[in-house]
Amino acid sequence: MSRAPDTWILTADCPSVLGTVDAVTRYLFEQGCYVTEHHSFDDRLSSRFFIRVEFRQPDGFDEAAFRAGLAERGASFGMIFELTAPQYRPKVVIMVSKADHCLNDLLYRQRIGQLPMDVVAVISNHPDLEPLARWHDIPYYHFPLDPKDKPSQERKVLQVIEQAGAELVILARYMQVLSPELCRRLDGWAINIHHSLLPGFKGAKPYHQAYNKGVKLVGATAHYINNDLDEGPIITQGVEVVDHSHYPEDLIAKGRDIECLTLARAIGYHIERRVFLNANRTVVL
């Protein structure tokens, strides 16, 4: 579902207590806000409540006053909320290595307006994809990785991210393991994509390994990064059925397509504030 261009997004979470839905929706009603979309979820195992509302503002809407009033209303519930304005476009940095399918797909979706974001930089440990970034008039930073001095390379990466004012980092087939330090800095606002054959087929040529084992499903997983390699909170996954007639090159081709679609879907959810972190899991509304 695409977001209407004139709606605000209100997201909030708090402990599971009586009256949480009423606290949000009644406040919106009192402020003259028209709700266009509403989703909520109460996690009975963690005893935590999550809500996402899109609404149209009334004439004379005062964002500062709205925030102050909601903070006061939600204080007794221990509510943490976030308000996102219409036409919100986060600044994004994309990290890549040599594979171009995810980068090319994301830049195309940005160009046609399907993903409302502004890619402000592309960072790579290889020079291969610079022409693609330059064609889109996006700065490209090539930082080769010296295995003996990985911290130096990561300092340069982090400097670009910070100077660009990035609000989201996308690892679009960036084939390097990030250090624990960089993972901590990017925790909760960096999205990675990988084939969902893991953890069964690690290392080189995973699709060839999968073919040799006769797998019947291939797919992709998009998740937030953390210090557990490829095991961060999952945002979304994609899968397709395959059979004996699919050779390794067929599996690879399917994998590329699923990776592009799954990554784009996860980024869209993130930009539209549909993803809540709930310990090491996600709630996607």
Distance of CA 31 to the CA centre of its chain: 31
Q: Which residues are catalytic?
A: 230
- β-partners of residue 55 are 8, 35
The pLDDT averaged over each successive group of 10 residues in the chain (285 residues) is 82 96 96 96 96 95 96 96 95 97 97 96 97 97 91 95 97 92 92 78 79 88 84 92 90 93 97 94 96
Predicted local distance difference test score (pLDDT) of residue 279: 87
Between CA 79 and CA 69 the distance in angstroms is 13
Angle between helices 101-111 and 248-271 (to 10 degrees): 40
Per-residue pLDDT tens for 211-253? 888 888 888 999 999 877 667 899 999 999 999 999 989 988 9
Residue 35's SS3 state is: strand
pLDDT at residue 198, rounded to an integer: 53
Classified as helix, coil or strand, 219 is: strand
| C-alpha–C-alpha distance, residues 119 and 110, integer Å | 8
Structure tokens at 283: 């709630």
Report the pLDDT value the prediction gives residue 229, as an integer from 0 to 100: 66
* Domains of the chain as residue ranges with CATH: 8-84 (3.30.70.260), 90-186 (3.40.50.170), 189-285 (3.40.50.170)
Q: Can you tell me the distance from the alpha carbon of 174 to that of 260, in angstroms, rounded to the nearest whole number?
A: 14
**Total residue count of the chain as it appears in this document:** 285
CA distance 129 to 162: 22
Per-residue confidence (pLDDT) for residue 282, from 0 to 100: 96
Question: What is the pTM assigned to this prediction?
Answer: 0.93
Which residues have C-beta within 8 Å of that of residue 58, sequence separation ≥ 6?
Answer: 31, 32, 33, 34
